[in-house]
Amino acid sequence: MKLRVLGKYSPFPRAGGACPGYWVRTEKTGVLLECGPGVLSRFQQYEHLGAISVVILSHLHADHSSDFLSLRYATESARRYPALPAHLTVYAPEQPVDVRETLKFKDKVTVETISSGKDIRIGDLTITFFEVEHPFQCYAMRIDDGRTVLAYSGDTRPCDALICAARGAHLFLCESSCLERDASFAATGHLTARQAAEVAREAGVQKLLLTHIWPFYSEAELLAEASEVFAPVAIAEEGTEYEV
């Protein structure tokens, strides 16, 4: 299993960057995990949009989902341009209903509901969802190809469900929204770099990859803070493909 980081910033991208988006693939399967601002443009540096048939949204905040609204329109031109997706299936939380309704598009999009403890099978990937703690209904994920496990935090503050999702993962892709000096902001539903590292340590993951980064932070500071607690740890690099 491989993970390409398409975007890592939140709640808006740094110049030249993108908000959360990750292309998870095996030799047989590709899944777009999150679809924030800038993700579709970045994706096309590596693949045709037609490679996307399944999108999973951890939650429905715009920094994780807004590019999906544009991706829907590509389906209308698929007959003329085969490099575009003819149909999309999007997995998303049930709440909030009004935002979820905006994902629909004629007969071109199928919207499926994710829920805690639910397993879905996409090609050779099994994906399990764990509801975590965030102002919008949100899910961490555990993605298993039968050999390796990728865990993804979604957006959350520290909680037992997050530790369960990450337990023993080969690679833990985890939000790192704040430095400890801004922990009061994170408390509403995000992690500091230190907290992300503490979760990684408790869950016994093999490697921690920090993402969901405030665009004006020094990444060196984030990395230093996490490294005091857990190793190996790295900051996600946009455009880089990681072996899980």
Average predicted confidence (pLDDT) for the chain: 97
d(CA 33, CA 1): 14
Structural domains counted in the chain: 1
d(CA 219, CA 174): 14
pLDDT number for residue 20: 98
d(CA 81, CA 88): 16
> Hey, what are 229's tokens?
């607690």
What is the C-alpha R_g of the chain? Answer: 17
Residue 226 has pLDDT above 90, yes or no: yes
| Burial bucket for residue 220 (CB in 10 Å: 0-12, 13-18, 19+) | exposed
In 3D, which of 119, 157, 121 has the Cα closest to residue 138? 157
pLDDT above 90 coverage of the chain, percent: 95
What is the domain-level CATH number for residue 229? 3.60.15.10
Residue 186 has pLDDT above 90, yes or no: no
Which of residues 77 and 59 earns the better pLDDT score?
Answer: 59
d(CA 180, CA 222): 9
d(CA 160, CA 67): 31
Which residue range is the domain that position 126 belongs to?
A: 2-243
123-176 pLDDT per residue, tens: 999 999 999 999 999 999 999 999 999 999 999 999 999 999 999 999 999 999
pLDDT number for residue 82: 85
13-36 pLDDT per residue, tens: 999 999 999 999 999 999 999 999
51-63 pLDDT per residue, tens: 999 999 999 999 9
Question: What's the whole-model pTM score?
Answer: 0.97
Residue 185 has pLDDT above 90, yes or no: no
pLDDT number for residue 79: 84
| Confidence at 118, pLDDT banded by 50, 70, 90 | confident
> Hey, what are 126's tokens?
């099994």
96-107 pLDDT per residue, tens: 999 999 999 999
C-alpha triplet 93, 108, 241: angle, nearest 5°: 65
Residue 201 has pLDDT above 90, yes or no: yes
Per-residue DSSP letter, 213:
B
